[in-house]
A = this chain, B = another copy of it.
C-alpha cells in the first residue's frame, strides 16, 4: 500500500508544488481570509503516525493547502483561460465546467474563457472545431445535465503541437479535467511549457469514476456513480428473488480498484458476494465462488453478486494482461466468466439456476450529479481557479482530511489508490455480505 509506504518512507515522496513564477498581483477577492503558501495539511491524522513522523522525518509529509492567495500571478483583465474534458464520461463534468467559468467570471472578473472541443484533440491541427467562448449566463443550467458540453475524446496528442496552439490562442491557464492518462498528458504539456519558458499554468482536476487517483481521497462523480449502482443492485435483487435459484450479477466499474463495487454493496445491503481486484478469490473448490453460491442458493433460494470489472483477472491465467500498463488495456470479462462457470456447475447437478447479468456502465457515467457530488464539483472548480490564478502549475486539486489540497501531478499519477482491506469500507462490506464465511 502506497499509504503505508508514505508513512514509512516519507522522504521518498515529493509534496512540493511547482509555480509558474512569483505572484505579485493583488487578488480581487479583497474580503477573503487568504491562505498562505506554507499552510499545509498533515498526511496522516492518526496520532501515532504523527508522533512517529515528528521523531523520524526530515520532511513532515503534508500537502500544500489549496485556497485563494492574497497575491496572484495573472492580471485578471488580461488572463485568457482554456478548459477541456478528456476520457470517458463521468458525472459532474458539466458541474466542474460551470464552476470554473462561474468562479473565473464572478470572483476574478476573468471573462476570456474558452472551451476546447473533444479533449486534447481540440488543441491540434486535426480538429475542425474552434474553441467555444464560455460565459456563466449561457451555462446557467448545464449542471442539471449529464455528459460534457465540450465533448471528450481519449488519447494524448503531441505536446509540442498543443503548446503551439495554446500560444496561438494566448492562453494563460489551462484546466485539464481528466483521468490518469490525461494528467500525464498535462505533465508533458507543462514540461514543454517549462522548456519554452512560457507563462502558462497547467492545473488538473482529477477525473476518475473509479475514485482511484493516488493521494486524493475522493474524486468527483464517484458519489453519483454509487447512487446509480446501488439502484441497479436493487434491480438485480428483484430479478434474483423473482426466480427459483435466481442469481443477479452486477458488473460495476473498477479496473484496478473496487471502490464503486464496495461502496455500492455497503449502500444497498442485499448483496451476497462483492468481488474486487484488491481481494483475490477462487472460482472453483470448496472455498471458491461457485460452490459458495451453491450453498447460498440452498439457504436463500437466490443470491446477488457484485463484481468490479477488474476483479479476478488472475483467473484468466497466462493471458492476463499487465495491470500497470497503458490506460486502455481491456480487462477480461470477469462477469461473463462467472456466468459461464455457474451455468456449467449447476448443469452438472441438473439443478436449474436463472442468471441475470447486468452491466450498467454507460447509464452510471452519463447521469447528472447527486447533490453532495455537485457541491464537491463546485468546490474543486473553485480551488482549481484559485490555484491557476496564483500561478501554480503541473498541479492537481486534491482532497485530503477534509481540506482541498495541491498535489503535484507526478505524485498522483502512475499508481492507483486501492481499497484498503482493513478500512471501514471493506470491513463494512464483509459485515454486510458475510462472504468470508463462504469464500475463505
Contacts and interface: CB of A to CB of B under 8 A. Distances in A.
Interface of A: 31-33, 39-42, 45-48, 50, 54, 60, 62, 65, 67-68, 89, 98-99, 102-103, 106-107, 117-118, 121, 129, 140-141, 143-149, 151-153, 217, 223, 226-227, 229-230, 232, 234-239, 241-244, 246, 263-264, 266-270, 356, 358, 360, 362-363, 366-367, 370-372, 374-375, 378-379, 382-383, 400-404, 422, 424-425, 427-428, 431-432, 434, 436, 440
A402 B230 CA distance: 22
Contacts of A383: 424
Contacts of A270: 140-141
Contacts of A239: 89, 147, 362, 366
Given A42-B47, A363-B358, A89 B238 contact: yes
B103 A431 contact: yes
Identical copies in the complex: 4
A351 to B, nearest CB: 12
Nearest to A440: B31
Contact of A47 (B62, B360, B372, B434): B62
28 contacts: A31-B436, A32-B427, A40-B48, A42-B47, A89-B238, A143-B268, A143-B269, A147-B239, A151-B242, A152-B242, A227-B370, A227-B371, A235-B366, A238-B366, A239-B366, A242-B366, A263-B371, A266-B374, A266-B378, A267-B374, A268-B374, A363-B363, A370-B372, A375-B428, A378-B432, A382-B427, A401-B401, A402-B402
Q: Which 3 A-B residue pairs are closest in the complex by CB-CB distance? A: A147-B238, A267-B371, A45-B401
B31 A42 contact: no
Given A147-B239, A244-B153, A371-B264, A50 B42 contact: yes
Contacts of A264: 371
